[in-house]
Amino acid sequence: MPQSKEVWTSRLGVILAVAGSAVGLGNFLRFPGLAAQYGGASFMIAYFLSLLLLGIPIGWAEWTMGRQGGLAGYHSSPGIFHATVRHPLGKYLGLLGFIIPVVVYMYYVYIEAWCLGYALNAATGTFSVAGVDYGQFFATFTGAGADGVALHFGLHDVGLFVLIVYACNFYFIFQGLSKGIEFVCKWGMPILILIALIILARVLTLGTPDAAKPGQNVLNGLGFMWNPRDVAAGLKNPQLWLAAAGQIFFSLSVGFGAIITYASYLKKKDDVVLSSLTAAACNEFCEVGLGGLITVPAAFVFLGAAGIVGQGTFGLGFNVLPFVFSKMPFGDFFATIFYLLLFLAAITSSLSMLQPGIVFFEEGLGLGRKAAMGCLALLTGLGTLMVWWFSKDLKALDTIDFWIGTVGIFIQGMILIIVYAWHIGIEEAWRETHAGAAMRIPGFYQPVMRYIAPTFLLVVFVLFIAANVFGWNFSFGAAAKFTPTNYVTDLVGPKASAVARGSFAFMTAVILLIAWLIHRAGLNWARQSKGNHP
Amino acid sequence: MTTGGWITMILSVGFVTVLFIYCVCRVLFGKPPDE
Measured in angstroms, the CA of B19 and the nearest CA of chain A are apart by 6
**Residue of A11, A218, A278 to mutate, testing the B interface (most B Cβ within 10 Å of its Cβ):** A278
- Measured between alpha carbons, how far is A409 from A413 in angstroms, rounded to an integer? 6
CB nearest to B8's CB, from A11, A40, A293: A40
Q: Are A381 and A354 in contact (CB under 8 A)?
A: no
pLDDT at position A50:
94
Residues of B in contact with A437 (CB under 8 A): 33
Q: Mind listing the pLDDT tens digit for each residue in A477-487?
A: 899 999 999 99
Over range A384-413, report the average pLDDT.
92
Is the model more confident about A313 or about A353? A353
Q: What is the mean pLDDT of chain A?
A: 92
pLDDT tens digits, one per residue of A163-176: 999 999 999 999 99
* Span A88-96, average pLDDT: 94
- Does residue A7 surpass a pLDDT of 80? yes
The pLDDT of residue A420 is 96
Share of chain A above pLDDT 70, in %: 99
- Backbone φ and ψ for A472, nearest 5 degrees, come out as -65, 140
Nearest alpha-carbon partner for A71 in A2, A173, A147, A158:
A2
How far apart are the CA of A397 and the nearest CA of chain B, in angstroms? 32
> Looking at the predicted structure, is the pLDDT value of residue A534 above 60?
no
CB neighbour list of residue A321: distance below 8 Å, 6 or more residues apart: A295, A298, A299, A335, A338
Domain A11-468+498-532 has CATH 1.20.1740: yes
Q: Does A277 lie at the interface with B, CB-CB under 8 angstroms?
A: yes
Contact criterion met (CB below 8 Å) for A40 and A226: yes
Nearest CA in chain A to B9: A226
Per the confidence metrics, is the pTM higher than 0.90?
yes
Write out pLDDT tens, residues A360-397: 999 999 999 999 999 999 999 999 999 999 999 999 99
B26 touches chain A (CB under 8 A): yes
- Domain ranges, ordered by start, for chain B: 1-35
Picking from A88-92, A152-156, A257-261, A339-343, which range would have the lowest pLDDT averaged per residue?
A152-156
Q: Does A16 touch chain B (CB under 8 A)?
A: no
pLDDT at A336: 96
Q: Provide CB contacts within 8 A for A13, sequence distance 6+.
A: A178, A182, A185, A186
- Taking an 8 Å cut-off on Cβ atoms, the answer to whether A293 and B23 are in contact is no
**What is the average per-residue pLDDT within A395-423?**
93
pLDDT at A3 (0 to 100): 57
DSSP lists the bridge partners of residue A482 as A472
Q: Is A164 on the interface with B (CB under 8 A)?
A: no
A520, amino acid identity: R
How many CB atoms sit inside 10 A of residue A269's CB?
13
8 A C-beta contact, residue A86 and residue A121: no
A275 lies within 8 A of chain B by CB: yes
What is the separation of C-alpha A335 from the centre of its chain, rounded to a whole number of angstroms? 23
Q: How many other CB atoms sit within 10 Å of the CB of residue A216?
A: 20
How far apart are the CA of A15 and the nearest CA of chain B, in angstroms? 9
Rounded to the nearest angstrom, the minimum Cα separation between A354 and chain B is 27
Distance CA A460, CA A428 (A): 28
Q: What three-state secondary structure class fits A4? A: coil
pLDDT of residue A36: 86
Q: What is the pLDDT of residue B32?
A: 67
CB of A266 less than 8 A from some CB of B: no
**CA angle, corner A96, sides to A69 and A424, nearest 5?**
40
Average pLDDT over residues A63-89: 95
The DSSP string of A210-265 is -TT-TTSSHHHHHHHHH----HHHHHT-HHHHHHHHHHHHHHTTTTSSHHHHHHTT
Say which amino acid occupies A421.
A
Q: How far apart are CA A144 and CA A415, in angstroms?
A: 35
Burial letters A438-466, b for 16+ CB under 10 A, else e = beebeeebbebbbebbbebbeebbebbeb
- Per-residue pLDDT reduced to its tens digit, A180-222: 999 999 999 999 999 999 999 999 999 998 889 999 999 999 9
Largest Cα span, chain A = 84
Burial label for A142, CB within 10 Å (0-12, 13-18, 19+), is buried
Average pLDDT on A437-441 reads 94
**pLDDT for res A313:** 84
Whether B8 sits inside 8 A of A44 (CB atoms) is: yes
In whole angstroms, give the CA distance from residue A406 to residue A400: 9
Looking at this predicted complex, what is its ipTM?
Answer: 0.94
Once rounded to an integer, what is the mean pLDDT over residues A305-328? 87
The DSSP letter of residue A181 is I
- Indicate the range of A47-51, A153-157, A306-310, B20-24 predicted with least confidence: A306-310
Question: Measured between alpha carbons, how far is A150 from A117 in angstroms, rounded to an integer?
Answer: 12
B34–chain A nearest CA distance, Å: 7
- B-chain residue closest to A215, CA distance: B1
In 10 A of CB B29, how many CB atoms?
A: 7
pLDDT at B35 over 70: no
Taking every pair of Cα atoms in chain B, the longest distance, rounded to a whole number of angstroms, is: 52
- The predicted model gives A81-86 an average pLDDT of 94
Number of H helices, E strands in chain B: 1, 0
pLDDT of residue B34: 55
Cα-based angle A445, A70, A76 (whole degrees, multiple of 5): 100
- The minimum CA-CA distance between A280 and chain B, rounded to whole Å, is 8
Separation between Cα atoms, residue A490 and residue A24, nearest integer Å = 28
- Kindly determine whether residue A438 and residue B33, on different chains, have CB atoms separated by under 8 Å: yes
Beta-carbon separation of B5 and A226 below 8 A: yes
* H/E element, A66: helix A56-71
Amino acid identity of A38? Y
Burial of residue B17 (CB within 10 Å: 0-12, 13-18, 19+) is middle
pLDDT at residue A456, as a whole number: 93
| Residues B28, A12: C-beta atoms closer than 8 Å | yes
Q: Is the distance from CB of A123 to CB of A79 less than 8 angstroms?
A: no
Contact B1, A223 (CB under 8 A): yes
What local confidence, expressed as pLDDT, does residue A345 receive? Answer: 95
Q: What is the pLDDT of residues A302-312, one digit of tens each?
A: 988 888 877 77
Domain ranges of chain A: 11-468+498-532
Q: pLDDT band at residue A233, thresholds of 50, 70 and 90?
A: confident
Q: Are the Cβ atoms of A439 and B19 closer than 8 angstroms?
A: no
Tell me what pLDDT residue A40 has.
Answer: 78
Q: Is the pLDDT of residue A425 over 70?
A: yes
Residues of chain A above pLDDT 90, percent: 77
CB contact under 8 A, B16 and A281: yes
pLDDT band at A492 (very low <50, low <70, confident <90, very high): very high
How many alpha carbons fall within 13 Å on the CB side of residue A502?
14
At A90 the three-state DSSP class reads helix
Q: Give the Cβ contact number of residue A479 at 10 Å.
A: 8
